[in-house]
Structure 1
Amino acid sequence: MDPEIAGWLQSVLRTIGYQHRDRMYADVESVLRLFQNFLVPKAETYTHDDGRSQLLLSLIGTVPIVYQSATYNIPVAFWLPTSYPSVAPIVFVTPTALMLVKAGKYVDISGRCYHPYLAYWSNRSDSNLVELIGIMQGVFSQEPPVYAKSNTSSQQQQQQQQASPAVGGGYPSPTTSLRPAPPILSYTSRQTTSSTMSSSQQQQQQQQPSDLSQQQQNRYPSPSNFGLSTQQLTPQQAQLYTKLQSALLEFNTASSREMDNLVNVNKQLNDAENRTKAELQSLRDLNSKIQHNIVTLNRCTEQLNSKIEQIRTWPEEPVDEIICGSSVVHNQLFELVAEEIAIEDTIYYLDQALSQDKVELNAYMKHVRNLSREQFMKKALIKKVKAQLGHVE
């Protein structure tokens, strides 16, 4: 890694306050070594779903894929939380102005990427950023997450608009690096690009060596593609031209971020609408059940009132005639049992009076003796009547 980039990265990790700086540095260094021409580190402000903003380290640029024998560069952004690697990175597809996100199995309409590797990140001790990027490359190769809005000419125009960022692509200090950098590469097929070149340009490319610097020349259009030549510009015009390019890039980046925020807000509103509809349907079902219960309760109330009115019309019956035995013997048994219970209660209250010194002992003994004799006779007669009725004790 370049010493300047390494120093900047160490400073950013300390400034933001990452918990595992050594692991972060090692993983980012591995990514930059493997994707040095595709991804660049930036310190940017990330807005979470709950509206909370936080300064995080991100890797912004593109990842190359091969789709139907053609090579494409997918614009992406990898956000690294402060508790990385305990928490999985946040991955977004960041389409340029002439691209649209293609929602699929692993990418939603806002560009947010989902994958089982991210879902089960914390369950694996060997989860790392390099392996994640490789998995994303495989996923994007099977199902590209973006597509162009218009034809090849519009794609070439987008390439021309992205050619100038190479001028200002340095590594600022952590306190001034809140401005996001534009994507390094555009989503264009190398076959399509080569087909638009003249035959003389293609022959010239075939004669050039395939080293890293030549690949960069093929990937970025020259200033002449913008309809201007650097030889035709004065120093003041060239300086103004560079400022205009930077201002345009800042505007495009701000517009893209605002569009992402609007997409997220729209998604939250749609989710809230779905929840509201579900809650409304639940309330409607509950209201239907309540109405049914009210109808049932009114019907039962009417039946009860009718029954009460019917009972009120019944003639009154003497209680003594209702509560009686079915024969003379049963009536005799009923009376004997009542008298025997009355005697027992009388003896009980005599005991209470004696204990409270309300009756003398001689009077108590006399009355208890008489009552006990009478109670014995009642019990003997009850036993005899029960035997006559066939009740066996």
Structure 2
Amino acid sequence: MAMTTNGPQLMATIPWTSATAAVHQFLTAALSHRGAAALPYAEDARWTIHQHLAALSHAFPTLRPTAGHFTHNDGRGATLLRSEGTVPLATSSSACLSISIWLLEAYPNLPPAVFLSFPPGTAVKPRHPLVDPSGSVSIPYLRSWIFPYYNLVDLVRSLAHLFSQDPPFAISPSPIHDAKARETAKVVEAVQRHLAAAGKSHTAEMEALLDTQTQLKRRKAEIARGLTRLEEEKELLEQQLQMLIMNCDVTESWVAKNHRRPTASLDGVFEPSNAHSRRAMECVAADMAAEDVMYVLDEALREGCVPLDAYLKSVRAMSREQFFHRAISAKLAPPQLELDN
């Protein structure tokens, strides 16, 4: 009895994200090799092979993909992908089928090669309709294989269904074996749960690392732009520094050429042109000096450094002197011309 389903519909409903990260990592690495180490599959079939094996590992966690050497009937050898492990049978909780599913070079256009392996002390039932003495399996699902409507998941389900009805070897489990099988199944289930949780954790870590990598790349670009701006500013500052050095050289040359000139006295900077002007300048200077003295006397009186009588006496004397100097300055000042309105 061949169990068939719509292959594309099955592949669309499989929750790929819950498959273990190890399976996806192995398949990605194995199918991405190029050159002499490349697997002999068509380029456009590699993604389909990846999907089929990952879906099979998800549906039957005891089946894991590996790579191995396969020898054809004509003696040719090739390194191919296979999925091997055990598949439980419905006839007994401890009965399992040890199978190896080899994906030949033309897969998925041609069906895979399926082989059974038997526990020590057992053999294939004589004249079994689905298995030959070498362990090679031939079931209707394989003989009527049509891609893309057939896939590995339905193939294994068909194998489990057919061999549950007609086991390829005698099954006589003992109570002790059943107990051991149950304990083994519990351990396997616990390990599978642990692997699933670890896979989710690793997936989250990988996503966080990818996000960090994206941020680092963005910051690297920002730093590169900042370094470029700093280099431009550095070049501009170096140009300005060269200009300052040139200006300093020019200034130093000018100073070296002119520093030996005699320094003029401050008193000789402003020279009156005649005696009349000299007298006027002296009166103005005396007037301002008297004003400064009276200001100092005011400060001294405020701070209590000068008694009041001495302050008044000095102020009267300075005021009298200032009055005379101002009067002389007024006489010496040139007449002001009045403009008629």
- TM-score using structure 2 length: 0.43
Larger Rg: 2
TM norm structure 1: 0.38
